[in-house]
Amino acid sequence: MSHARIIVNPVAGAGRTAREWPRIMSLFKGQGLNFEHDITEAPGHAVELARDATKNGYETIISVGGDGTLNEIANGLYKAGASKDIALGMVCTGTGSDYARTVGVSRQYEEACMRIFQPKIITVDLGIIEYAENGSSVERVFVNFAGMGFDAEIVRRTTRNFKALGSTLSYLMGVFTTLVSYRNRKVTLIIDGGEEEREVCSVIANNGRYGGGGMFTAPDADLTDGLFDLLIIGDIGKADLIRSLPRIYKGTHLTHPKVTMKKAREIEVKSTYPLSLQADGELLGELPARFRVLPSALNIIV
């Protein structure tokens, strides 16, 4: 194992990471890992820390936190032009840790730490999203999934009000409180050049298979195929959405008549209504947005 930089997000998992970090650090030291570590101090800090680590010659970066921490580190590597040169490991102590489910990294931190010392590296795709923020166009990569509409509003409410409740319960609370006021909206979808107008509840570009704290959102997604699994939840009623929610955890929602799944390399979404966006469970800006696949763009330790 080369000299490693560990980036620790102490607030991930509603503060769980801060409590577990001394034990995790002890495990790494006990196995003789040669590393330095940084503690993030604010949202976006892990982006800067990852970028700095690449400039200082580190070949391995380890994320200790959740999906949002992984997202920020991936963005730091991408901005530094080093996403294909670094091996990225993960010790998942966040609320959802959905990306770990897809790549097969244990969500038990003791086992995840041990895997760092017997590394198998896979090269996976990234997603990139261009969107509007304060009147300007912004670009950001994501490792797992990005979505708009109902999906993003759930993230907003979960992050603000319920994150301390744990992954599944916090997401469910976000779902039910969002249902009170959310309305389906008409959007224009351009999927690999083909245009259509749809009334939708949510549109989600999936790179990984899981989201929302264990929902089996895209059962056939492949991190290495150069394609999104694009989930479109159409003009579904609230009562039907509530009844169908358990199916998403089982991965059986794809047979619902209002649900469509398509393979796609590039998606544009436009709307006359200001719809929010999320990527890897982090709120971004608003539509219009364009999603693209970056094939074989990141090296993950599994």
Candidate CATH numbers 3.30.559.10, 3.40.190.10, 2.60.200.40, 1.20.5.50; the one for domain 126-294: 2.60.200.40
Q: Is 80 exceeded by the pLDDT of residue 272? A: yes
Residue 168 pLDDT class (50, 70, 90 cuts): low
Q: What is the mean pLDDT of residues 281-285?
A: 86
- What lies within 8 Å, CB to CB, of 14 at 6+ separation is 95, 163, 164, 165, 166
**Contact between 247 and 256 (Cβ < 8 Å):** yes
**Contact between 214 and 202 (Cβ < 8 Å):** no
User: How many C-beta neighbours within 10 Å does residue 107 have?
Assistant: 17
Q: How many helices (H) and strands (E) does the chain have?
A: 8, 15
Nearest to 203 by CA among 145, 128, 163: 145
Q: Where does residue 192 fall: left (phi above 0), alpha (psi -120 to 50 degrees), or beta otherwise?
A: left
The DSSP H or E segment spanning 287 is: strand 282-301
pLDDT at residue 95 in the model: 75
pLDDT digits (tens, 9 = 90+) for 51-101: 999 999 999 999 999 999 999 999 999 999 999 999 999 999 987 789 999
Nearest to 113 by CA among 48, 47, 22: 22
pLDDT digits (tens, 9 = 90+) for 94-147: 877 899 999 999 989 899 998 888 889 999 999 999 998 888 889 999 999 999
pTM over 0.85: yes
Alpha-carbon distance of 178 to 158, in angstroms, equals 9
**CATH code at 4-119:** 3.40.50.10330
Q: Is 60 exceeded by the pLDDT of residue 160? A: yes
Q: Which two tokens stand for residue 268?
A: 């544009």
**Contact between 109 and 92 (Cβ < 8 Å):** yes
Alpha-carbon distance of 218 to 113, in angstroms, equals 27
Q: Is 90 exceeded by the pLDDT of residue 1? A: no
Q: Is 90 exceeded by the pLDDT of residue 153? A: no
The ranges assigned to domains in the chain are 4-119, 126-294
pLDDT at residue 136 in the model: 85
**Contact between 74 and 207 (Cβ < 8 Å):** no
Percent with pLDDT over 70 in the chain: 94
State the Cα angle at 42 between 37 and 46, rounded to 5°. 45
